[in-house]
């Protein structure tokens, strides 16, 4: 039960386009139409109008800090001091962060440290206590935050203090101003879809197991099935809503969200998709076929991956790069879109932030500028 909800903002009459496409016409010509189905009626809010507001003032804040990085000690202490002393909030941090030797020996931080609430991943459930998550570090901190909440996720505010920072749009230099703005509400928010993963073990093990929180049953970036340490090609079958679509013969296959399209999938040759596009991406890893290109399927389908009957070896599956597990003959992996996205707070808006990250982090379409022609006759001699 969190203290936030999405605010539907009335749209100015002058704006004539939306991030979602127009609702399609259901009448075709004078006599044909789509068969009416009341149960399939959906009202989808346009992503551009999604704003964050609070039903009650937030009281409990989870601060996630990139560990083993000494450069984040001072920003972490500044943020905690601000939240505790100035905002009078209850701050939760992971126990191993508080037990850091540099923090334990810092007498000036001891008063704040004693007021922090600690938890241990895999032992303490804090999913129903947190109103806001603040991340300090790189993209891994947001992935870690996602793994802590298998159900509803509080809003996430991510500060760029890591190496890449594609998912962390905020600059820490102005953290007090930015946090105050979020607490006031009306911040732009982007809903990053996640994948729900089930592993069905063996033909003779009918127990369908949903991963426990520490095993990452919900992923934000991707599910990767690969050949592991074997020298043989991976050979897996891909099903879509129960129908065999194709077999993947190669190093493996990546099933990713639009958020994950700029991660491993992009390195494997997939297109980059804006996080608000409802879709699931299927990207082969070094396929042994020149015609096997990455595909995009609707977000509502169920994908299933199994070892092909004639596969020469087992396969391995990982979830957002964690918790690798061996997949044997008779096992299957079922993947669907989760009902619980990650609500990421935008620094500017959901379009500008994404393209800014493409340019700043991935150097998308960066090249030396072409110079203009100084004389019409130059065009016949050379082209700069």
328 and 307 Cβ atoms separated by less than 8 Å: yes
Those residues with Cβ within 8 angstroms of residue 115's Cβ, 6 or more apart along the chain or in another chain: 84, 91
Helices (H), the chain: 73-81, 95-98, 101-104, 110-113, 139-148, 175-184, 264-267, 350-362
CA angle 71, 75, 78 (to 5 degrees): 145
356: closest CA among 168, 156, 157, 145?
168
Kindly name the residue from 131, 139, 226, 353 that is annotated as catalytic.
Answer: 139
H-helix segments, 195-294: 264-267
User: What tokens were used for 295?
Assistant: 């595909």
CB 289 within 8 A of CB 310: no
Q: Is 131 considered catalytic here? A: no
List of residues 6+ apart from 290 with CB closer than 8 A:
none
For 210, the token pair is: 């949903």
**Rounded to a whole number, what is the largest CA-CA distance in the chain?**
80
Active site residues: 139
């Amino acid at each position: 039960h969190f203290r936030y909800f999405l605010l539907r903002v009335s749209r100015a009459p002058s704006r004539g386009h939306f991030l979602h496409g127009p609702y399609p016409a259901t009448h075709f010509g004078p006599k044909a139409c789509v068969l009416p189905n009341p149960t399939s009626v959906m009202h989808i809010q346009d992503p551009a109008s999604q704003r964050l507001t609070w039903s009650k003032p937030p009281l409990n804040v989870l601060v996630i800090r990139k560990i083993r990085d000494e450069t984040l000690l001072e920003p972490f202490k500044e943020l905690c001091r601000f939240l505790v002393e100035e905002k009078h909030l209850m701050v939760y941090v992971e126990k191993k962060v508080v037990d850091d030797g540099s923090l334990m020996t810092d007498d000036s931080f001891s008063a704040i440290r004693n007021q922090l609430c600690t938890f241990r991943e895999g032992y303490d459930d804090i999913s129903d206590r947190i109103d806001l998550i603040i991340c300090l570090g790189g993209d891994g901190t947001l992935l870690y935050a996602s793994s802590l909440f298998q159900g509803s996720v509080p809003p996430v505010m991510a500060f760029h203090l890591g190496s890449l920072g594609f998912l962390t749009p905020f600059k820490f230099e102005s953290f007090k101003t930015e946090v105050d703005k979020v607490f006031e509400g009306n911040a732009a928010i982007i809903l990053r879809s996640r994948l729900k993963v089930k592993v069905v073990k063996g033909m003779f093990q009918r127990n369908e197991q949903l991963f426990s929180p520490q095993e990452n049953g919900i992923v934000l970036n991707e599910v990767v099935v690969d050949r592991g340490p074997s020298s043989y090609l991976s050979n897996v079958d891909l099903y879509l809503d129960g129908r065999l679509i194709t077999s993947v013969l190669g190093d493996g296959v990546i099933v990713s969200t639009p958020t994950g399209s700029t991660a491993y999938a992009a390195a494997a040759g997939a297109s980059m998709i804006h996080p608000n596009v409802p879709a699931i991406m299927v990207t082969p890893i070094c396929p042994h076929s020149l015609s096997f290109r990455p595909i995009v399927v609707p977000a509502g389908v169920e994908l299933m991956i199994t070892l092909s009957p004639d596969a020469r070896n087992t396969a391995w599956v990982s979830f957002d790069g964690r918790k690798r597990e061996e997949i044997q003959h008779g096992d299957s992996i079922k993947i669907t879109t989760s009902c619980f996205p990650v609500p990421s707070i935008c620094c500017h808006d959901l379009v500008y932030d994404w393209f800014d990250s493409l340019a700043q982090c991935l150097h998308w379409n960066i090249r030396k500028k072409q110079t203009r022609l100084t004389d019409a006759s130059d065009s016949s001699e050379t082209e700069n």
